[in-house]
Amino acid sequence: MKMPRFRRIVPYALAATAVAGALFLAERPALQSSKLMPARDTDILEAAVRQIRINYVDEADPARTMEGAFQGLMGSLDLMSSYLNPDLMAKAVSPRLDKYFDIGLAVYKRPGSFPVVVGVAEGSPAAIAGIEIGDAVSAVDDRSTLAWSYNEFRLTLKDPEPKPVKIRLVHENTTAEKTITRALPYPAAAAWTAEKGTAGIARVYHLFPGAAAAFSAAVVPKAAGRKEPLILDLRGCREGEIGEAAALINVFVKNPQAGTFEKKGGVKTPLDCSADPALPDIPLVVWVDPATIGPSEIAAGVLRDLKRAKIVGTTTAGLTGEQKIFPLKTGDGLLLTVGEFVLASGEKIFEKGVTPDAKIEPGKQTLKDYLKKSRVFFPGR
């Protein structure tokens, strides 16, 4: 006799929850030393599953039930940890994610809330479509984003082809849907532009592999030997890798322990920036905003912590953990935070963010506003 569909999902749901409990206990050193789920919790779990099996009105989709269980688990850990279905896993392991098509949004996402737009790339499809900072994205291609993690949302918007994507937005008290065609998100990894009274504005668009080398090629010849301050513009730099952040830091300062990643069991891995810097003496002002996320936050925090820069802008998101992908047998996987970044001074910026030396007020985030705030740090201003 064929087992009813809902009965078939119950063992999987139990297994998923057991794995969830084990992972949660293993990854939370602050918990007590017990390695097993408390008996009371397993009793409650068993009773809940029994009541669902006997009394729930409808049958459930096994795949969706499992995905929901893992999403709930990951959401209980931190803002960065994620469950990735097979489609998202394929994107996450891509060596050239910067070449994927996207719409140019940066968001901040808390568990149980919709992603909120904190940055819109200039000239991007999202900007052309009129998406604004503060908009909430309630659905992507008719799928609710409420249970998604930050990284699920980020990777869902990426595609190897310039395909359209349907976005449902909540703006103040109104809801709107927009179909937006993806495009290549970055004009370059880095660029330099002249600005009167400075050594120029060095813009970093992303920190994917090769970004630091592109920055050196574009900026170092223009800035070398200058006495005026260089502006390092990390606004909107929302993606990349930790190794590229270290290489960018190393353009300005040499330190084999520029910070550490604190891991389970008291293990500490240093952020190594031990090469000779190309611009060791140039005064430096770093610009950040709410879309300065991940490796770019690490770069900003370290440069300020090592007394190499002043920071102008708004407090960043604090998504500064070291992450590792753990594939599962079914093609999906877990993206887990395995290290929390701490500055050399001992200040923790994971889930806290980098606080600027000079803050930009809401609604005053234009180039003119940033330059005005920055001039307080210019010699002989």
DSSP-derived secondary structure letter, 220:
H
Confidence of residue 7 (pLDDT cuts 50, 70, 90): very low
Taking Cα atoms as reference points, which of 205, 231, 369 lies closest to residue 303? 231
Sign of CA dihedral 290, 162, 71, 241: negative
User: Which pLDDT score is estimated for 47?
Assistant: 75
- The pLDDT value recorded for residue 105 is 96
Q: Kindly give, in sequence order, each residue whose CB lies less than 8 Å from that of residue 316, ignoring residues fewer than 6 positions away.
A: 288, 289, 290, 292, 293, 297, 300, 349, 353, 354
Q: pTM of the entire structure?
A: 0.84
Whether 64 and 9 have beta carbons less than 8 Å apart is answered as no
Among 47-61, 120-134, 296-310, the minimum mean pLDDT is found in 47-61
Q: What pLDDT, on the 0 to 100 scale, is given for residue 87? A: 94
pLDDT exceeds cutoff 90 at 111 = no
- pLDDT score recorded for residue 279: 97
pLDDT at 32 over 90: no
For residue 5, what are the contacts with CB-CB under 8 A and spacing of at least 6? 59, 60, 62
326, 327, 328, 329: CA torsion to nearest 10: -150
**Superfamily for 94-181?**
PDZ domain (2.30.42.10)
Q: List pLDDT tens digits, range 162-204.
A: 999 999 999 888 999 999 999 998 989 999 999 999 999 999 9
CATH class belonging to 190-318+353-377: alpha beta
CB-count burial class (<10 Å; 0-12, 13-18, 19+) for 315: middle
Tell me, what amino acid is at 116?
A: V
Residue (of 208, 100, 111) closest to 152 by Cα position: 111
Rounded mean pLDDT, 94-120: 93
Pick from 106, 108, 112: which is nearest to 146 by CA?
112
Closest by CA to 132, choosing from 167, 171, 164, 178, is 171
**Residue 31 is encoded by which pair of tokens?**
């918990």
**47 or 344, which is more confident?**
344
pLDDT of residue 228: 94
| Residue 206 · residue 98 · CB < 8 Å | yes
Q: Which residue has the higher pLDDT, 240 or 18?
A: 240
Average pLDDT in the chain: 86
Q: Please give the pLDDT value at position 53.
A: 67
Question: If you write DSSP's letter for every residue of 149-207 in order, what string do you get?
Answer: -HHHHHHHT-BSS--EEEEEEEETTEEEEEEEE-B---S-SEEEE--TTSS-EEEE--B
Query: Which tens digit of pLDDT belongs to each residue from 246-270?
Result: 999 999 999 999 999 999 999 999 9
Percent of the chain with pLDDT over 90: 70
The residues spanned by each domain of the chain are 5-79, 94-181, 190-318+353-377
One fold for 94-181 and 190-318+353-377: no
Residue 117 in this model has a pLDDT that exceeds 90? yes
Instruction: Report the number of secondary-structure helices (H) and strands (E) in the chain.
Output: 10, 17
User: Which band of pLDDT confidence, cut at 50, 70 and 90, is reported for residue 342?
Assistant: very high
Which pairing describes strands 82-84 and 333-343: parallel, antiparallel, or unpaired? antiparallel
